Amino acid sequence: MKYVFGIDLGGTTVKLGLFTVEGELLDKWEIVTRPENGGEHILPDIAAALQAKLEEKKIALDQVAGAGLGVPGAVLEDRYVKPCVNLNGWGGDVAGMLSEMCGFPVKAANDANVAALGEMWKGGGQGYENVVFVTLGTGVGGGIIINGKLLSGVHGAAGEIGHLKVRAYESEPCGCGKYGCLEQYASATGIVREANRRLTGLAIPSALRSLEKVTAKDVFNCAKEGDALALDVVNLFGNTLGRALANVSCVCDPDVFVIGGGVSAAGQIILDVVQEAFRAHAFPASEGTRFELAKLGNDAGIYGSAQLACS
């Protein structure tokens, strides 16, 4: 039996998974991320956690095919991580260093990209080799898989779907410093901002007015109840994202778009509004592209990192 580890490094916790090379999750656990001092503890902590798991499960080093590491930043050549802002500038040849500490091969990739691999392997994109994964959370992330391989790009920026330019005029800057990015309208933050813009600027009634603080979940729930203002926000979200994905399909023409992240918990309504706009704008040959909700939730990162280690 051969094993792989999937590691998903986040700002507060590191999620770890022990898998068979066939993709069966045998065990998962978490350790705390210690980002202080430029993240000097991060790799030794991970190496110690993997070592302890091998001892606990009585797995010999030669039974480990490798490990994959998803990181919150841009990654070049499966190993070099550009300094991560939310990990105090942690970066460098992290795959090489972790491999040296552990004694088996390690590959690294961006966290949204590994989540895409995970969803292709065992989630909403299972059975397909051309998958575009979109994660809708506080921001909008993405991962593009072509012929079963991640597309990471020369600068590690391929799949940064959240920064597609979708609006010509926008007064507030995006997190990236530019204006009019998809993330500004299709993230949870963007949905709430659009709802608040309408609640302040328009006199029309809405159930959202009775809430102290509006969340993206509230907007979708009210839209499902037929609330006109909430529906307007959801339709703007659907139109903006659907049109952006129609443009993406002109570039890489995937089998399936898999939509995940916290916002996707709203369920079928997301697929309905996005798919409608997608079909209206897509190049005719791509109109039938499939849309699926992500299935792995918070485990997408460890599944995808493990898949990366197998590839």
* Binding-site ranges for Zn ion (CB under 5 A): 163, 174, 176, 181
Taking the least distance from each CB to Zn ion, the nearer of 57 and 167 is 167
Residue 114 CB, shortest distance to Zn ion, in Å, is: 21
Residue 90 CB, shortest distance to Zn ion, in Å, is: 22
Taking the least distance from each CB to Zn ion, the nearer of 160 and 232 is 160
Nearest C-alpha neighbor of 112 from the set 154, 175, 157: 157
Tokens 């066939």 belong to: 22
Contact 14, 46 (CB under 8 A): yes
Residue 236 CB, shortest distance to Zn ion, in Å, is: 18
Residue 152 CB, shortest distance to Zn ion, in Å, is: 18
Mapped onto helix, strand or coil, the DSSP state of residue 88 is coil
Whole-angstrom CA distances from 286 to 207, 241, 247, 255 are 38, 16, 10, 9
Alpha helix (H) residue ranges in the chain: 36-39, 42-56, 94-102, 111-122, 183-186, 188-201, 216-224, 228-252, 268-281, 300-310
Taking the least distance from each CB to Zn ion, the nearer of 182 and 222 is 182
Residue 248 CB, shortest distance to Zn ion, in Å, is: 15
Taking the least distance from each CB to Zn ion, the nearer of 163 and 243 is 163
Taking the least distance from each CB to Zn ion, the nearer of 35 and 162 is 162
State the CB neighbour count (10 A cutoff) for residue 11. Answer: 11
Residue 175 CB, shortest distance to Zn ion, in Å, is: 6
DSSP letter (8 states) at residue 266: G
Residue type, 87: L
In whole angstroms, what is the distance from residue 228 CA to residue 204 CA? Answer: 9
Taking the least distance from each CB to Zn ion, the nearer of 186 and 266 is 186
Nearest C-alpha neighbor of 50 from the set 10, 109, 104: 104
Handedness of CA 36, 38, 40, 42 (dihedral sign): positive
Residue 115 CB, shortest distance to Zn ion, in Å, is: 19
In whole angstroms, what is the distance from residue 205 CA to residue 130 CA? Answer: 44
Taking the least distance from each CB to Zn ion, the nearer of 33 and 240 is 240
Residue 183 CB, shortest distance to Zn ion, in Å, is: 6
Taking the least distance from each CB to Zn ion, the nearer of 134 and 174 is 174
Question: Which residues contact residue 69 at a Cβ distance below 8 angstroms, ignoring those fewer than 6 apart?
Answer: 7, 9, 46, 94, 95, 98, 106, 107, 108, 109, 305
